[in-house]
Amino acid sequence: MSKAPTRIQQRNRTAILDAGLKVFSQYGFRGSTLDQIAEAAGLSKPNLLYYYPSKDAIYTALLERLLETWLEPLQQLDEDGDPISEILGYVHRKLDMSRDYPRESRLFANEILQGAPHIAGHLSGELRQLVDQKAHVLRRWEQAGRIAPIDPHHLIFSIWSLTQHYADFDVQVRAVLGDSDPMAGASAHLDMLFRRMLTPQAEP
């Protein structure tokens, strides 16, 4: 029987995860230190390890929590909806996530860049299963002529890369664009891009 967590536990655990997210998303797992996380969380290092038994435990807890959030927008893609609206809805949900949760996006990017040592199983398991399932939906839409011919898997990769780019490469985007906020232009651009890519052309 595990006890209900106290208020202090809740506060400190969320403070630790938030601090871990901040640090890990910037430096990756190996490049981050417990001291950095402890300071960002406003706790001493031994106190940190009172709530999570190891550096790895903090990182794993973060990734675990992230994976749910990460799959959700794709799960919402509805076969019974209007194809182009559904796909554009997915694009905008993903772009909103890049805007609202850039650290989560960079944490994920860091993990993948390093070869996904902690989540390789999830990628070839849950993620692959979900993607294959939605790829079938896309293929049926395509065969019904409701979207232009396209490789479903690469379409999904395109959505991922185009949206996450604005979080992961934020520094570069801002350096090139100057002061103006990238996200307004990004939203309009991606909307246009996917509309043109997906709208079926009349038969000759």
Q: Which of 11, 65, 100, 113 binds a second copy (CB under 8 A)?
A: 113
> DSSP states of 154-194 as a string?
HHHHHHHHHHHHHHHTHHHHHHHHTTS-HHHHHHHHHHHHH
- Extract the tokens encoding 176: 């090139």
The item of a second copy, DNA, none sharing an interface with residue 3, based on CB under 5 to 8 Å by kind, is DNA
Q: What DSSP letter does each residue of 5-50 carry, written as one string?
A: PPHHHHHHHHHHHHHHHHHHHHHHHHH--HHHHHHHHTS-HHHHHH
Summarize as ranges the residues that interact with DNA (CB under 7 A). 3, 6-9, 12, 32-35, 43-47, 49-50, 53-56
d(CA 162, CA 76): 19
- Assess 151 for contact with a second copy (CB under 8 A): yes
Number of Cβ within 10 Å of residue 37's Cβ equals 26
Q: Which of 10, 14, 27, 144 contacts a second copy by CB under 8 A?
A: 27
Measured from the CB atom, the residue of 4 and 175 that comes closer to a second copy is: 175
Could you say which of 26, 51, 71, 139 contacts a second copy (CB under 8 A)? 26
Q: What are the helix and strand counts (H, E) for the chain?
A: 11, 0
Q: Which of 5, 11, 14, 30 binds a second copy (CB under 8 A)?
A: 30
Binding site for a second copy (CB under 8 A): 25-32, 106, 109-110, 112-116, 120, 123-124, 127-128, 131-132, 148, 150-151, 153-158, 160-162, 164-166, 168-169, 171-173, 175-178, 185-186, 188-190, 192-193, 196-197
